[in-house]
Chain A
Amino acid sequence: ELKVEQNPLFLSMQEGKNYTIYCNYSTTSDRLYWYRQDPGKSLESLFVLLSNGAVKQEGRLMASLDTKARLSTLHITAAVHDLSATYFCAGKNFGNEKLTFGTGTRLTIIP
Protein backbone atom coordinates (compact mmCIF):
# COMPACT_ATOMS: atom_id res chain seq x y z
CA GLU A 1 0.00 0.00 0.00
CA LEU A 2 1.37 3.35 -1.02
CA LYS A 3 2.31 5.77 1.73
CA VAL A 4 3.16 9.42 1.10
CA GLU A 5 5.16 11.62 3.44
CA GLN A 6 5.36 15.33 2.91
CA ASN A 7 7.53 17.84 4.68
CA PRO A 8 7.63 20.31 6.13
CA LEU A 9 4.11 20.50 7.53
CA PHE A 10 4.36 24.24 8.04
CA LEU A 11 6.53 26.70 6.22
CA SER A 12 6.75 30.41 6.81
CA MET A 13 8.98 32.31 4.45
CA GLN A 14 9.68 35.84 3.37
CA GLU A 15 8.74 37.24 0.02
CA GLY A 16 11.50 36.92 -2.50
CA LYS A 17 13.04 33.79 -0.99
CA ASN A 18 13.28 30.31 -2.50
CA TYR A 19 12.20 27.11 -0.84
CA THR A 20 11.38 23.46 -1.54
CA ILE A 21 8.63 21.16 -0.34
CA TYR A 22 9.49 17.46 -0.31
CA CYS A 23 7.26 14.50 -1.01
CA ASN A 24 8.51 10.96 -0.39
CA TYR A 25 6.50 7.90 -1.30
CA SER A 26 6.93 4.32 -0.24
CA THR A 27 6.31 2.04 -3.21
CA THR A 28 6.03 2.17 -6.96
CA SER A 29 3.68 4.83 -8.20
CA ASP A 30 3.12 5.68 -11.84
CA ARG A 31 1.85 9.19 -11.29
CA LEU A 32 2.53 11.98 -8.83
CA TYR A 33 0.24 14.98 -8.40
CA TRP A 34 0.58 18.36 -6.76
CA TYR A 35 -2.46 20.29 -5.62
CA ARG A 36 -3.03 23.67 -4.04
CA GLN A 37 -5.76 24.49 -1.53
CA ASP A 38 -6.66 28.00 -0.38
CA PRO A 39 -8.43 28.40 2.99
CA GLY A 40 -12.07 27.39 2.72
CA LYS A 41 -11.66 26.36 -0.89
CA SER A 42 -11.31 23.13 -2.77
CA LEU A 43 -8.19 21.53 -4.22
CA GLU A 44 -6.81 22.87 -7.47
CA SER A 45 -4.59 20.67 -9.62
CA LEU A 46 -1.13 22.14 -10.23
CA PHE A 47 1.00 19.42 -11.81
CA VAL A 48 0.85 15.81 -12.96
CA LEU A 49 4.24 14.09 -13.13
CA LEU A 50 4.42 10.84 -15.04
CA SER A 51 7.98 9.67 -15.46
CA ASN A 52 11.41 9.73 -13.92
CA GLY A 53 13.10 13.06 -14.41
CA ALA A 54 9.84 14.83 -15.25
CA VAL A 55 9.94 18.55 -14.55
CA LYS A 56 7.02 20.93 -14.90
CA GLN A 57 6.91 24.65 -14.28
CA GLU A 58 4.14 27.17 -13.90
CA GLY A 59 5.13 30.68 -12.90
CA ARG A 60 7.14 30.58 -9.69
CA LEU A 61 6.40 26.91 -9.03
CA MET A 62 8.42 24.01 -10.39
CA ALA A 63 7.75 20.35 -9.68
CA SER A 64 10.07 17.43 -10.34
CA LEU A 65 9.97 13.67 -9.97
CA ASP A 66 12.75 11.18 -9.18
CA THR A 67 11.19 7.73 -9.30
CA LYS A 68 14.40 5.98 -8.27
CA ALA A 69 14.55 7.97 -5.04
CA ARG A 70 10.73 7.93 -4.77
CA LEU A 71 10.86 11.67 -4.28
CA SER A 72 9.03 14.61 -5.74
CA THR A 73 9.79 18.22 -4.98
CA LEU A 74 7.87 21.45 -5.36
CA HIS A 75 10.23 24.38 -5.63
CA ILE A 76 9.09 27.93 -5.04
CA THR A 77 11.15 30.67 -6.59
CA ALA A 78 11.10 34.27 -5.33
CA ALA A 79 7.97 33.72 -3.29
CA VAL A 80 5.12 36.20 -3.40
CA HIS A 81 2.20 36.56 -1.00
CA ASP A 82 -0.26 35.08 -3.51
CA LEU A 83 1.45 31.71 -3.13
CA SER A 84 0.29 31.40 0.48
CA ALA A 85 -1.81 28.21 0.56
CA THR A 86 -1.66 24.57 1.57
CA TYR A 87 0.09 22.32 -0.94
CA PHE A 88 -0.56 18.61 -1.21
CA CYS A 89 1.25 15.91 -3.07
CA ALA A 90 -0.52 12.68 -3.96
CA GLY A 91 0.71 9.43 -5.47
CA LYS A 92 -1.40 7.18 -7.62
CA ASN A 93 -1.56 3.61 -6.39
CA PHE A 94 -0.22 1.20 -8.99
CA GLY A 95 -2.94 -0.78 -10.70
CA ASN A 96 -5.91 1.38 -9.79
CA GLU A 97 -7.04 4.99 -9.74
CA LYS A 98 -6.69 5.53 -5.99
CA LEU A 99 -4.64 8.48 -4.83
CA THR A 100 -2.80 8.58 -1.52
CA PHE A 101 -2.29 12.12 -0.24
CA GLY A 102 0.42 13.58 1.92
CA THR A 103 -0.63 15.55 4.98
CA GLY A 104 -0.06 18.86 3.22
CA THR A 105 2.33 21.78 3.69
CA ARG A 106 0.82 25.02 4.89
CA LEU A 107 2.86 27.76 3.27
CA THR A 108 2.72 31.31 4.57
CA ILE A 109 4.54 34.03 2.68
CA ILE A 110 5.41 37.01 4.86
CA PRO A 111 5.75 40.41 3.18
Chain B
Amino acid sequence: DVKVTQSSRYLVKRTGEKVFLECVQDMDHENMFWYRQDPGLGLRLIYFSYDVKMKEKGDIPEGYSVSREKKERFSLILESASTNQTSMYLCASSTFGKNQPQHFGDGTRLSIL
Protein backbone atom coordinates (compact mmCIF):
# COMPACT_ATOMS: atom_id res chain seq x y z
CA ASP B 1 0.00 0.00 0.00
CA VAL B 2 1.07 3.53 -0.75
CA LYS B 3 1.96 5.50 2.34
CA VAL B 4 1.96 9.29 2.30
CA THR B 5 3.11 10.69 5.61
CA GLN B 6 2.69 14.28 6.72
CA SER B 7 4.92 15.37 9.54
CA SER B 8 2.25 16.90 11.81
CA ARG B 9 -1.46 16.38 12.27
CA TYR B 10 -1.94 19.66 14.10
CA LEU B 11 0.20 22.75 14.07
CA VAL B 12 -0.23 26.18 15.67
CA LYS B 13 1.93 29.08 14.53
CA ARG B 14 1.95 32.85 14.85
CA THR B 15 1.41 35.48 12.18
CA GLY B 16 4.63 36.31 10.36
CA GLU B 17 6.39 33.03 11.16
CA LYS B 18 7.95 30.91 8.46
CA VAL B 19 6.19 27.56 8.48
CA PHE B 20 7.35 24.26 6.99
CA LEU B 21 4.99 21.39 6.23
CA GLU B 22 6.69 18.14 5.30
CA CYS B 23 5.40 15.24 3.23
CA VAL B 24 7.07 11.92 2.49
CA GLN B 25 5.87 9.10 0.23
CA ASP B 26 7.26 5.59 0.13
CA MET B 27 6.24 4.37 -3.34
CA ASP B 28 8.78 6.10 -5.57
CA HIS B 29 6.05 8.23 -7.11
CA GLU B 30 7.09 10.87 -9.61
CA ASN B 31 4.30 13.32 -8.84
CA MET B 32 3.60 15.10 -5.58
CA PHE B 33 0.97 17.70 -4.74
CA TRP B 34 -0.01 20.13 -2.01
CA TYR B 35 -3.65 21.10 -1.52
CA ARG B 36 -5.54 23.11 1.01
CA GLN B 37 -9.05 22.13 2.03
CA ASP B 38 -11.55 24.67 3.29
CA PRO B 39 -15.26 24.15 4.05
CA GLY B 40 -17.41 24.82 1.03
CA LEU B 41 -14.42 25.18 -1.29
CA GLY B 42 -13.29 21.59 -1.70
CA LEU B 43 -9.61 20.97 -2.34
CA ARG B 44 -7.55 23.61 -4.09
CA LEU B 45 -4.15 22.89 -5.55
CA ILE B 46 -1.29 25.03 -4.25
CA TYR B 47 1.78 23.55 -5.96
CA PHE B 48 2.80 20.31 -7.58
CA SER B 49 5.97 18.62 -8.75
CA TYR B 50 6.76 16.04 -11.41
CA ASP B 51 10.36 15.47 -10.46
CA VAL B 52 13.15 16.39 -8.10
CA LYS B 53 13.88 20.12 -8.05
CA MET B 54 10.91 20.72 -10.31
CA LYS B 55 7.76 22.63 -9.28
CA GLU B 56 4.72 24.10 -10.88
CA LYS B 57 2.17 26.53 -9.54
CA GLY B 58 -1.30 25.30 -8.88
CA ASP B 59 -4.41 27.42 -8.58
CA ILE B 60 -3.57 29.29 -5.36
CA PRO B 61 0.23 29.58 -5.03
CA GLU B 62 0.35 33.08 -3.52
CA GLY B 63 2.03 33.15 -0.13
CA TYR B 64 3.47 29.66 -0.52
CA SER B 65 6.58 28.06 -1.91
CA VAL B 66 7.73 24.44 -2.18
CA SER B 67 10.88 22.41 -2.18
CA ARG B 68 11.61 19.00 -3.63
CA GLU B 69 15.22 18.06 -3.02
CA LYS B 70 14.57 14.31 -2.95
CA LYS B 71 12.04 12.28 -4.90
CA GLU B 72 10.22 11.04 -1.82
CA ARG B 73 9.92 14.38 -0.02
CA PHE B 74 7.88 17.48 -0.89
CA SER B 75 7.84 20.43 1.46
CA LEU B 76 5.36 23.29 1.59
CA ILE B 77 6.64 26.60 2.96
CA LEU B 78 4.58 29.50 4.20
CA GLU B 79 7.06 32.35 3.87
CA SER B 80 5.28 34.66 6.31
CA ALA B 81 2.21 33.02 7.77
CA SER B 82 -1.03 34.96 7.83
CA THR B 83 -4.37 34.18 9.48
CA ASN B 84 -6.02 33.49 6.11
CA GLN B 85 -3.68 30.53 5.72
CA THR B 86 -5.38 28.74 8.59
CA SER B 87 -6.62 25.59 6.89
CA MET B 88 -6.28 21.84 6.43
CA TYR B 89 -3.32 21.01 4.21
CA LEU B 90 -3.23 17.75 2.29
CA CYS B 91 -0.29 16.21 0.50
CA ALA B 92 -0.74 13.65 -2.28
CA SER B 93 1.42 11.58 -4.56
CA SER B 94 0.85 9.67 -7.77
CA THR B 95 2.62 7.87 -10.54
CA PHE B 96 1.99 8.26 -14.24
CA GLY B 97 -0.57 5.85 -15.66
CA LYS B 98 -4.22 6.05 -16.59
CA ASN B 99 -5.54 3.94 -13.75
CA GLN B 100 -3.56 5.61 -11.02
CA PRO B 101 -5.29 7.84 -8.48
CA GLN B 102 -3.57 10.36 -6.27
CA HIS B 103 -2.89 8.98 -2.79
CA PHE B 104 -3.38 11.35 0.09
CA GLY B 105 -1.76 11.82 3.46
CA ASP B 106 -3.77 12.32 6.66
CA GLY B 107 -3.52 16.09 6.48
CA THR B 108 -2.11 18.84 8.69
CA ARG B 109 -4.55 21.14 10.40
CA LEU B 110 -2.68 24.44 10.59
CA SER B 111 -3.84 27.33 12.74
CA ILE B 112 -2.22 30.74 12.41
CA LEU B 113 -2.83 32.99 15.39
Interface positions of A (Cβ within 8 A of B): 6, 9, 30-31, 33, 35, 41-45, 48, 50, 88, 90, 96-104
The answer to whether the Cβ of B84 comes within 8 Å of any Cβ in the partner chain is no
User: What string of 1s and 0s marks CB contacts (under 8 Å) between B4-45 and chain A?
Assistant: 000000000000000000000000000101010000111111
The answer to whether the Cβ of B74 comes within 8 Å of any Cβ in the partner chain is no
Size of B's binding interface in residues, CB under 8 A: 28
> Across chains A and B, which 8 residue pairs bring their CB atoms closest together, nearest first?
A45-B101, A103-B42, A101-B43, A101-B42, A43-B104, A42-B104, A42-B106, A97-B31
Instruction: Establish whether residues A88 and B94, one from each chain, have CB atoms under 8 Å apart when the complex forms.
Output: no
Interface positions of B (Cβ within 8 A of A): 31, 33, 35, 40-45, 48, 50, 56, 58-59, 90, 92, 94, 96, 98-107
Within the complex, the shortest CB–CB distance from A50 to chain B, in Å, comes to 6
